[in-house]
Amino acid sequence: MSHNTTPEVSSSFNIAKIFSILSVILAHSRINDDSYYSAIAERIGCLGVVTFFFISGFFFNISKYGTGKFFKKKITSVIIPWAFLGSITFVISDHPKNFISWFNWVIGNGTYLYYLTVLIFSYGVFAFFNKKIFAYVFIFLNIISLFITSQGYLQYINLHEINNYLNPFNWIGFFSLGYIIKDKFTDVLHFLNKYAIYVLITYVIFLLFSVRLEDEYGYFSKFALVNEVMGMLLIFSISTFKFFNRVNFLRIADFTFTIYLTHFLVFPLRRFLIQNYWSQFLNPIIYMLACLLLIWIGREVAKRINLLKLYNTLLGIR
């Protein structure tokens, strides 16, 4: 945790991480059709990734370790579990089994793992441009990039069809925002807690009407930036509620990175679940709990055979 993080802020971030991973799971498990409910689910499913980028920017503190030690730490905490679990999901996928296909899968060129590629890029950029003035520039570039992308001008970068998800300037502004606001975030949380009901009402009204006004609802739609900023504010508003500040609930936050890497492995459970417009909003909770159960079973086995440290490294448990 950051040196300037109070227990209050720490708890809020942990709660926000839990709701963010549920958003990510919803994005990948929702009913994908042209219905009004699916559109709402897609909008809500866009909130998790940008919130994770914000959190990563908030806790970015390369001066604490030094550049070399920082990236050495990321090899253990991010790259190893990314490569290991990414390869496992690739093996069970229906993608062609060759090196190029594997490489595209792991870097997220057409898969959910794009987040980690952009995250490492953001770390690299901020390792050299870690002044707030550059963060403001990146936010501006992010806004411009999303506008251009939403107009369809950057649907595909003409380089072996690398898609919009791998365009770092569609995301780095959220990382930058977390980096900029870290010294004032306690005040922001107090504000969001005080006006939480208004944040909720405003977002719900926006959500209900915005899906009526356009045909695209994802990360690169015309209302995407508004949706993601307002939705992220809502997540942090909810994160201030004392109801969620419970020890057993907060422990889930320790495993959100692993859940992100493994949640596709539990999707076969969908055949046993009710699949309709309403259940799609509840099923992510079941998928998350299934991931936690698998992680817990694996840890117990690893303990018994004295491989817990290796297990935690391979699964990215921190």
d(CA 96, CA 110): 13
d(CA 258, CA 30): 20
Query: Tens digit of pLDDT per residue, the chain (318 long)?
Result: 444 578 888 999 999 999 999 999 999 999 988 899 999 999 999 999 999 999 999 999 898 889 999 999 999 999 999 999 999 999 999 999 999 999 999 999 999 999 999 999 999 999 999 889 999 999 999 999 999 988 877 554 544 455 789 999 999 999 999 999 998 999 999 999 999 999 999 999 999 999 999 888 999 999 999 999 999 999 999 999 999 999 999 999 999 999 999 999 999 999 999 999 999 999 999 999 999 999 999 999 999 999 999 999 999 998
d(CA 267, CA 17): 21
d(CA 162, CA 113): 13
Alpha carbon distance, N-terminus to C-terminus of the chain: 12
- Counted residue by residue, the chain has a size of 318
Amino acid residing at 310: L
Question: How much is the pLDDT for 162?
Answer: 56
Taking Cα atoms as reference points, which of 50, 29, 30, 49 lies closest to residue 41? Answer: 30
Question: How much is the pLDDT for 224?
Answer: 95
Question: How much is the pLDDT for 2?
Answer: 46
Amino acid residing at 76: T
Q: Exposed, middle or buried: residue 313 (CB in 10 Å: 0-12, 13-18, 19+)?
A: middle
Between strands 162-163 and 156-157, the pairing is: antiparallel
